Structure 1
Amino acid sequence: MHLGYHYVRTGIAPGPACSPSRLRAHIVALKADGYEFLACREVSRRLRLGLPLPDKHATLSFDDGFADQYYTAFPILKEYGVPATFFYISCVLDGRTPPVIGLQILIDALGIVRLEKEIFPKVLVGTPYLDLLDERRYDASGRKMGDPQELRRVKWMFNHWPSQSFKRDILDEIFTTYIGEGSEERLCRERFMSEAHLREMHASGMEIGSHTVTHPAMNILGRAEIESELKDSRRRIERELGGTGIVSFAWPFGGRFRDVTRRLVGTYYETGWNYDSTLSHMPEAPYADLTDIPRMNENMFMRDAS
């Protein structure tokens, strides 16, 4: 059983969220059913050495590095003595928001209507991306199904089409012009775990893994960009943790990936962990490809837990 989490909080979150009570319910239920909790690196170690895994074993992993993972999830995990893995986006260490999260911050701060109708038409003028915001030209209703209808067009256009460098330029312009100088770094520090948080969790037995440098849509990147996202994230996090090797990687966005991309993940990491928001049960052979180990959206497990 491999469960993937994002935000851990009570109430509304800007992305996939698990309440603290539901996280507790997951842990209690799995313990009661005889599951042994392992960090992703321990699964990797046993597979690599040919050591047996418990018939019933579970991993809990948390993507992106949001601050509530430290303030809310971490104390619960310590309370129950459960190891877990936290997949971190390394650009945050330099005060830069990953574009996918930067967009969400802008939606929260400026509103989706203003972004779609006023701001993006200005900053995207002369680019093909502007056409993707035109509902007469592009139907986005079937995209980003986990999001409200009014968010799907903007999220699909911004997160899955432009290059990361182009997104970075657009974010810089919008943050500076519409929110204020220095606003991005301030908001980034508020929303994500800090270096000190990572070191504390690592020292307590939690695993810190890589979730790339900037959380790109991997299938639109060239080989050099993919390698940079993989190796630079690993090196940056290893430096913060005093040289501890980072062996586990989580795919941004999840989905199906090209063979060449999976091979590159295998070059830099022992295991790659996917995230399937629709997976309702674990497949019979989850370790058939160690660069593409499936995780369930935690919301699909014990769906009646609040």
Structure 2
Amino acid sequence: MSRIHILMYHRVGDFPQRMPSHRAQYCDLPRFKAQMSMLRQLGYNVVSLDAAVAALRGEARLPSRSVVLTFDDGYVDFLEHAAPVLLAHGYPATVYAVAGLLGQANAWVASEGLTQAPLMNVAQLREVHAMGFSIGSHTVTHPRLITLETPRIVEELGASKRMLEDVLGGCVEHLCYPYGSHDIRAVEAASAAGYVSGTTCQWGPATPADDLLTLPRKAVSQGTTAFRLFWMLLARNRARGQAIRRDTGAGPTGR
């Protein structure tokens, strides 16, 4: 295992044929079904984020063509549309929930001119967790972390973890930075809070050389057909950009 592809989804459902903007926020249900079938037909192995982290640490082995599925924000349409498809295939997935907005809407999109959508409430999140899906943290209020003062970053990451653990009655070990917005302060706060992994919006496959708290992903959008997803999984390159790494003295993964 030299690389793992972590796919990033947001909403799954029935949408207008071509959304005018922010197409990475949407995946049409028929295309989602086709993508999940393609993974099985072409021999890809959908693994949990826990299994991927263990492999990236060198603690376990995964087969080649390993893929992780992640869903940002915790929309109700994950429960309504994505979960039944995933369960039918026996695929694990991680849902990143905004701890302070459970049962509300994604109000942060209002400034971008997008229609707000409902987020899962406590009962729905527990239902998804009981189905076997992993729940991760997406902060308390979904801010751009790099715009905040350090104490607020610490609170957004620490409090969201505690809140979700209270809801679920178990450990929450995975974090996703809203908008992919993070800097060394956010990464250090995530480490101090006890997160095992953190995912970003940097495009590319995850490798053992990555810090586990700044893992790259590949975004799936409304225009991504099953064929296009196949080519995305074949791509081994990474988007240009400076990776944020911690000086932990614990090797390239920092864990």
Say whether the fold is shared (TM-score over 0.5).
yes
Answer whether contact 1:270 1:291 (CA < 8 A) is retained: yes
Structure 1 residue aligned with 2:211, among 263, 286, 289?
Answer: 289
Deviation of the 1:197 alpha carbon:
1.4
How many aligned residue pairs are there? 218
Match of 2:178, SS? coil
Gaps of 5+ in 2: 230-255
Identify if the C-alpha distance between structure 1 residues 102 and 41 changes in structure 2 by more than 3 Å, giving closer, same or farther: farther
Confirm whether residue 236 of structure 1 aligns to residue 240 of structure 2. Answer: no
Confirm whether residue 226 of structure 1 aligns to residue 153 of structure 2. Answer: yes
Deviation of the 1:97 alpha carbon:
4.6
1:100 maps to what in 2?
Answer: 108
One-letter code of the match for 1:39? S
Deviation of the 1:46 alpha carbon:
4.0
Structure 2 residue aligned with 1:3, among 2, 7, 22?
Answer: 7
C-alpha separation in 1, matches of 2:206 and 2:176: 20
Confirm whether residue 196 of structure 1 aligns to residue 123 of structure 2. Answer: yes
One-letter code of the match for 1:261? A
Structure 1 residue aligned with 2:183, among 239, 258, 275?
Answer: 258
> 1:199-249: per-residue Cα shift (whole Å, max 9, x none)?
11111210000000011111111111011000111111111112x100110
2:192 maps to what in 1?
Answer: 267
Structural mapping, 1:174-189, within 5 Å: none
Match of 2:201, SS? coil
Match of 1:213, SS? coil
2:250 maps to what in 1?
Answer: none
More helix per residue: 1 or 2?
Answer: 1
Query: Which protein shows a greater Rg?
Result: 1
> 1:93-150: per-residue Cα shift (whole Å, max 9, x none)?
3x5555514546x864xxxxxxxxxxxxxxxxxxxxxxxxxxxxxxxxxxxxxxxxxx
Identify if the C-alpha distance between structure 1 residues 213 and 10 changes in structure 2 by more than 3 Å, giving closer, same or farther: same
> 1:239-284: per-residue Cα shift (whole Å, max 9, x none)?
1112x100110110015x32232122222210001124xx3xx347
Answer whether contact 1:209 1:246 (CA < 8 A) is retained: yes
C-alpha separation in 2, matches of 1:47 and 1:285: 7
Structure 1 residue aligned with 2:144, among 217, 220, 231?
Answer: 217
Answer whether contact 1:98 1:214 (CA < 8 A) is retained: no
Match of 1:62, SS? strand
Gaps of 5+ in 1: 109-186
What TM-score comes out, normalization by structure 1 length? 0.64
User: Superposition RMSD on alpha carbons, in Å?
Assistant: 2.6
Answer whether contact 2:38 2:226 (CA < 8 A) is retained: no
C-alpha separation in 1, matches of 2:53 and 2:206: 18
Confirm whether residue 298 of structure 1 aligns to residue 220 of structure 2. Answer: yes
Answer whether contact 2:97 2:136 (CA < 8 A) is retained: yes
One-letter code of the match for 2:218? M
- Identity percentage of aligned residues: 30
One-letter code of the match for 1:63? D
One-letter code of the match for 1:230? L
Match of 1:87, SS? strand
C-alpha separation in 2, matches of 1:287 and 1:37: 21
Deviation of the 1:293 alpha carbon:
0.7
C-alpha separation in 2, matches of 1:223 and 1:287: 27
Match of 1:274, SS? strand
Deviation of the 1:286 alpha carbon:
6.4
Answer whether contact 1:286 1:294 (CA < 8 A) is retained: no
Deviation of the 1:2 alpha carbon:
1.2
2:77 maps to what in 1?
Answer: 68
What TM-score comes out, normalization by structure 2 length? 0.76
